[in-house]
Amino acid sequence: MKFLSTLVAATLVAPFMAAADPTGCDGNEEVLKFSVVTSLQGHPKGEAAMEYASQINAQMDGRYCVEVYGSSELYPDDETLFQAMLDGDVHFAMPAFAKISAYSQKSDIFNLPFLFDGPLHVLEFLQSDVINEIGEEVKDDGFEVLGYVSNGMRQFSATVPMRSPGDAEGLTFRVSSSSPITAAVLDIMGVTPKKLKFSQVYDALASGEVQGQENTWANIATKEFYRVQAAVTETNHTYIGYPMMTSQSFLNDLDEQTRADFITIANLVTHERNRFAFELNQQQRQYILDDDGIILRLTPAEMQEWRDAFAPILDRFKPSIGTEFVDAAIRINAEADPFN
């Protein structure tokens, strides 16, 4: 299956998202709030949220109006966001997989280093029936997954150039969650983890509170993390993606047709936006270079050193995530041929 589309097509989508402007709701429409922590433009999550709002506002004009709030304006991706969804204060959100491990242990699969060969291989997994097991797990806590939005692969950055896993030994890195898998990865590197909200990362890096982090090109570029780091090392070691979530109570209060419309539009938007996520991250990678940021590309031997260092983590955490679930991901990754 081909996932690559032209970059021109991706960039042309942005000007048509004004319908998600929170000032554009009519007084007779029911206002629904969509909370994201990233930028709304130039970022896969933000642009997917805006496109979803745009489609809802167009197709359900006069009935519903979705307001999208970016850069943690409403809530960070933590327990306050999930409680807000259950309370009806927020209707849609896209927390990272790493943020929903309390509701789905299987979501920790995306923290396993080098499980997937690249973002297009992950898309094959996201489009398989296997991924639905995560959606089933979160239902137990009152949530519903409408679809999955892709961002990209994580890269490491630090105040020192990193070509091997031990180069950052003794430093403190920001982490997004309390995942034991992430802690194990950093322990191998000799790095101390410090959990911080996404909105706190730049200031923490700039002040020296933490000296490194891991993120996608889109996150690193839009929040300018590279400006306060010595270099970004292109490791592509783990994946960041987002379940588009709502509460079961919200969906259950809708009539059957309206509920189906919300779900169908989410499926169409996530499928379409995922086609552009790869190009968008590559565009942001180039932006970093054009702005004099430093990106270290590893040699095959250096990359193998990273893979070998983290290899024991798979066997250690595979049972807690689900052996069959992980094995299915390994099989899908091996069989994926996204360019044909």
Residues 41-76 pLDDT 10s: 999 999 999 999 999 999 999 999 999 999 999 999
Q: pLDDT-derived band of residue 20, with 50, 70 and 90 as boundaries?
A: very low
Rounded CA gap, 7 and 286, in Å? Answer: 13
Asked whether the predicted pLDDT for residue 9 surpasses 60, the reply is no
Domain extents for the chain?
7-104+119-150+241-285, 155-237+290-335
- pLDDT beyond 70 at 271: yes
* Mean pLDDT along residues 9-18: 35
pLDDT band for position 1 (cuts 50, 70, 90): very low
Share of the chain above pLDDT 70, in %: 93
How high is the mean pLDDT of the chain?
A: 93
Q: Is the pLDDT of residue 245 over 50?
A: yes
Per the CB < 8 A criterion, the answer to whether 229 and 122 are in contact is: no
Q: Does the domain formed by 155-237+290-335 have CATH 3.40.190.170?
A: yes
275 or 39, which is more confident?
39
Residue 15 scores a pLDDT above 60 = no
Assign a CATH topology to domain 7-104+119-150+241-285: D-Maltodextrin-Binding Protein; domain 2 (3.40.190)
CA nearest neighbour of 2 among 278, 334, 284? 278
Residue 297 host element (H or E) = strand 295-297
Can 7-104+119-150+241-285 and 155-237+290-335 be said to share one CATH topology? yes
According to the model, what pLDDT value does residue 98 have?
A: 94
Instruction: Report the alpha-carbon distance of residue 295 to residue 293 in Å, rounded.
Output: 7
